[in-house]
Amino acid sequence: MCDDFQCKLYNRFPGNFKCDDSDCQPDFASQCKHQCKYAGCDLCRCRCYLYCKPCQWRYITRFAEFSSYVHYVDAFWQGAYYALPLNLNTINSFFGKNMKSEELPSFLNSIRVQIPQPANAEEAVLSKIGVELYDAFYRNYTRKQWGMDPKDLDASVTMRLPIRMNDDRRYFTDPWQGIPKGGYTTLFDQMLRHKNIHLALNTDFKAVRNSVKYRKLIFTGPIDEYFDCVYGKLPYRSIEFRFEKLSQKYYQHMAVVNYPNEHEFTRCVEYKWLNGQHHDKTTISRDFPCWNDNEPYYPVPSIANKALFLKYKELADRTPNIFFCGRLGAYTYYNMDECVGQALDLFDKEIKNDGK
C-alpha cells in the first residue's frame, strides 16, 4: 500500500537503499489523491490539513510549497453554528452566557457528570462537559461516524478534540499549518521521484509477497489481511463522498461544517475555501460514513476490536524485519502530523544504519 506514511518514509532512504512498493490501488497515495476540476473547483478526496512540529515541517516543505491555510470547523445545531473544538465562545453561545476564561473551568465542573474513571467514549465526554453539550455535539455524530453507540467505543474516540478554556477557535493550534499548492498528488509525486524507488500500482501485495526480496518490509495495509485474517477480520470504517456542483459562488461560510445530529451525513466540505480559488460556481461534498472493505479509512476503536488487534500485534512482534505502520497497519487513528513523525522516527531508528 503506497500511502502518505510510506511516501514520507521512502524519500528518507539514501542512495544505497532500494525499495519496491506495491499498491492494489490505481494511484499512489490514493486516499489523498488530488482529483480533477469539478465545476471549476479542484478536489481532494480526503481534505488532509497538514500541521506539524518544526522538524516535520522542514522535511515536508522540501517537496512542495504550502499555502497558509488555517483550518476552522463549525457545527450546525438547531439552526445555529458553533465553533469546534468546544471553546469559551462556543460554550457562552450555547448557554447564553458571557463568561470569561477564568470562569469556564468552574462552570464546566458544575455541569459535568462525576465519573472518576471513564470507561468508554460516552463517559469520557460526560465527565468533562456534562449531558447537554454531549447530546448536542458528540452523541449522534459519534454514532454516525462509527456505526456504533459511544458506550461501546474506547474513550480515546471522543477525547481527540480538546476542550479549550479560551476563545481560540482554530481547529489545530500548531504554528505550522497548510495545504500543498498543487495538491497532495504533486507532493507525493515529488517524494517518489528517486531512481531507487520502484512503484507497482494495481498490484496486490499477496500476489508478489513471495517474489519480492527485502531486508526490511514496511507494511501499511490492514494488519489482519497480512496474516490472512487468521483470528478473524478487524473492522474498518469508511466514507462515501457525495459530490455536488452548484451554480452559486459559495455554499457555506467556511471549508468544513459538521452536522452532528439529524442529518445522515457527518459533514459538508466546500473546496474553494481550502485553496482560495475564485469561481462563479462551487463544489461541495458530504461525508456519509459506511462499511466498505475496499476503502478502509478508520480503525474502529472498540474494546473487542482492541483485543483482536493485540492478537495480531503479537504475531507481528514475532515476525522479524517487518514493520506494521500507519492507520491500518497499527490499527490506530493517526493524524497527518503523527504519520509524518512516525515515518521519520522509524527510518532513524530501524532503517538508516542498515544500508550497506
pLDDT tens-digit map of 226-241: 999 999 999 999 999 9
For residue 289, what is its C-alpha cell?
Answer: 460514513
- Find out whether 42 and 239 touch, Cβ atoms under 8 Å: no
How many Cβ atoms from other residues are within 10 Å of residue 116's Cβ? 5
Nearest one of 275, 270, 340 to 50, comparing CA atoms: 340
Q: What is the predicted pLDDT for the residue at 335? A: 85
Predicted confidence at residue 275, as pLDDT, reads 81
Q: How far is CA 137 from CA 11, 98, 213, in A?
A: 40, 20, 50
Phi, psi for 256 (deg, rounded to 5) = -130, 130
- Residue 285's beta-bridge partner residues? 243, 269
pLDDT of residue 3: 54
Regions of the chain with pLDDT less than 50: 1-2, 8-17, 27-28, 30-31, 34, 36, 39, 46, 356
Angstrom CA distances, 181 to 163, 185, 222, 274, 348, stand at 31, 10, 30, 10, 28
CB 56 within 8 A of CB 344: yes
E-strand ranges in 62-166 read: 73-77, 80-84
The whole model's pTM is what?
0.85
4-71+175-235+301-354, CATH topology level = Rossmann fold (3.40.50)
Q: 84 φ, ψ to 5°?
A: -120, 150
Domain(s) labelled CATH 3.40.50.720 in the chain stretch across 4-71+175-235+301-354
For helices 121-137 and 139-146, the axis angle rounded to 10 degrees is: 110
DSSP alpha helix (H) spans, 251-295: 272-275
Predicted pLDDT at 340: 87
* Single-letter code of the amino acid located at 285: S
